[in-house]
Structure 1
């Protein structure tokens, strides 16, 4: 083998290694929690949908109260509005667990606050909290599909759907235990839309607003 041929082969090998490294890095960056559908199905979230922003820097329980310690009967200050936790749903789906709290601000305007712990996006990353404030939205009998939905002129792409098991506590208008169908969607600007229903019941829907965990303060029930 001549020196010229050896040099060309060496450069080709280096180029191949760099390309494979870039491909692996891209794959790991695009991997997200809660993107898998039912067993055997491929993830539903399209690449063009915006990813949710990370919470602001800080340490749970040190720099701000840990929202995972909220209990039924506590008082929460959320976005400058004092609300009381009427009830809670403890849900699980494919090994993922999260909690949703029913909030009452005294004006019969009920909203749900969901708290979920996500694993790091990349190996070695610390887990982080996702805190979402859900507001009911009318969808006029719309049924969630596995395709893009248009709501109030905004296109939403399917993210997750499945059947979650739940246990209720306090006032929730839900049975003590049961199964909940859900379908989650995300718009290109990061907005969230979710449908859910007790099996055999009509669908209800809500918009979600992400909140930094440190933006919530609460008083424990006396």
Structure 2
């Protein structure tokens, strides 16, 4: 009788051990499957320890290197239109050119370097615009509210109207009018993430 009880206890113990092992294997496999199915945070994975820093944290006084050329940020405009927001940083160009860097996440991070065209005579509104050897097609337009920090030459808050155009090769053409001022024209070029390095103030 004692031998039967011992045998029964041993059998039950073996069954419990096997069941526990099976549960552990199931949980491990389920965890791996969920890890594979979970959408990766590409921006976090790519930039958590990246040497180029996070352009979403840029502010006046910081230095940003674009294609290995350093620019000090002298002012920034934070723009909001409904649920959509973006930032435009005015760059202190060593050659005196009027340049700005726009930073937008919608949903992927988009960085565009803009060069002002103060002598341009074109105006927005047409479905297509021919300018500087390219044909641009209308993409979007609207009006946003802005808040300015640093040195921008603008009121601290206000509104801006805009029209955005894009060429077939991805080149951009933008028209902006802050407050009651006239249209300002700029040509834009999208930057690869690795072409922009952030040097925070201090």
TM interval, shorter chain, is: 0.7 to 0.9
Cross-structure match for 1:18: none
* Counterpart selection for 2:169 from 177, 189, 196: 189
1:82 corresponds in structure 2 to 70
Please, which runs of 5 or more residues in structure 2 have no aligned partner? 1-41
Q: Is the 8 A contact 2:166 2:173 kept in 1?
A: yes
Gaps of 5+ in 1: 1-54, 120-127
User: 1: CA distance between counterparts of 2:134 and 2:142?
Assistant: 23
- SS of the residue corresponding to residue 59 of structure 1 reads helix
What residue is the counterpart of 2:182 in the other structure? Answer: 202
**Secondary structure of the residue that 1:106 maps to in structure 2?**
coil
* CA RMSD after TM alignment: 2.1
Alpha-carbon distance in 2 for matches of 1:114, 1:210: 9
1:170 corresponds to which residue? 150
- SS of the residue aligned with 2:154? coil
* Alpha-carbon separation, structure 1, partners of 2:143 and 2:91: 24
2:49 corresponds in structure 1 to 62
| Distance in 2 between residues matched to 1:148 and 1:106, nearest whole Å | 33
Matches within 5 A, 1:4-19: none
Q: Looking at CA atoms only, which structure, 1 or 2, has the larger radius of gyration?
A: 2
Q: TM-score, normalised by structure 1?
A: 0.67
Shift >6 Å, 4+ stretches: none
Q: When the two structures are superposed, what TM-score results if normalisation uses the length of structure 2? A: 0.73
- Alignment match of 1:103 (pick from 53, 78, 91): 91
Q: Which has the higher contact order (CA 8 A, sep 6+)?
A: 1
